[in-house]
Structure 1
């Protein structure tokens, strides 16, 4: 559990009683607001509707988006926590350069140009260095010739980070690691693509399922012979077609020879 000063514990007791929340829920929200430098919070608290976001003087989002009473509760609670964090020593003082300290980065880096936090990941930008704290572990990167303008985290729950520079948007994982474990790369989400870089090859024909061959269609046998009555009837029909101009005399004669050969 997060360590608190006596004053911090008194604040948690008071807020827990007035908002009818557990101590753990209030502490969770206090840590979230603190990670957002008192101006914002990203949290996942079951007693407050699960995942949500809060921004001072701006947007409040909760899992139950149409529950306006819950939104008001989160907004009021976070505002009170922000004021308490600004005026009271809520957390014990942690020496600089250690996890949990406001100055959590290695002391030899000096004073950062900018700092920020998102989804419990903190970062600080220095000349030619970028420090990232993830789950209490600090990694220092060499920023090479990048002029970093901002750091952002991929939405969706993973810990992938990117930053903007004069070269556009660049992944933090592309930078050389000076010290620390590094930030894990984003998980594979394109499950349609092969998991490795090896080219895809079709299964061997020996293991591919065989498709049953369609049954052969036997042609309907055509009788080679006809009797004389059938031949006469056909010739009469052809004669009428010839007289009507449907078939020519040449076509009539050809069909007549064919019928006579089959008698």
Structure 2
């Protein structure tokens, strides 16, 4: 739509990943469809993250599945949750243009900027999903022009880990799933502005499972809170 082209209707008989690619470009190679399917499976669920929790909270009110999934989408819209893969591409392009990965990364850290594709709220080790997707990108090979892009990304990854180890020695900041997600979705032909949408297409399966499970319990999620502010003096 952004390019002024007419949308293609979905094909209910086709595999999900293959049909997504067909609707994107009109064709879907088996290799790219398999790669995208691996990505969608890898990200379909990941514990009680922000969007999944939002989905379960709304599902617990018996508001219905549609409302619960919309709550998940609303949470995923925030850049602190689902917006990292697109900026990874911007970072790689900027580093390639600069010609010095380490210097570019040190400058970003000095400015207080985040290094996209690194660090995770849960993992203090390398995100295991990163290696799954890295292997998928490697299998796509030169046919999809991922060979040189992958080699460059591996160089940037190592430079980032080295720079982060020196700049933030008190923290364990490792590669996360978004770093190689960016390369995979780029190879599949998705514009970087649509990366979070593709992530949602995978995660929605997990949201639905969580919502149905929550609805089945019949229990409303109602966390307790404790006031810790100042107590006014009510004595006259």
TM-score normalized by the length of structure 2: 0.25
Whose strand fraction is larger, Structure 1's or Structure 2's?
A: 1
Larger RCO (CA under 8 A, 6+ residues apart): 2
Whose helix fraction is larger, Structure 1's or Structure 2's?
A: 2
Which protein has the larger Cα radius of gyration, Structure 1 or Structure 2? 1
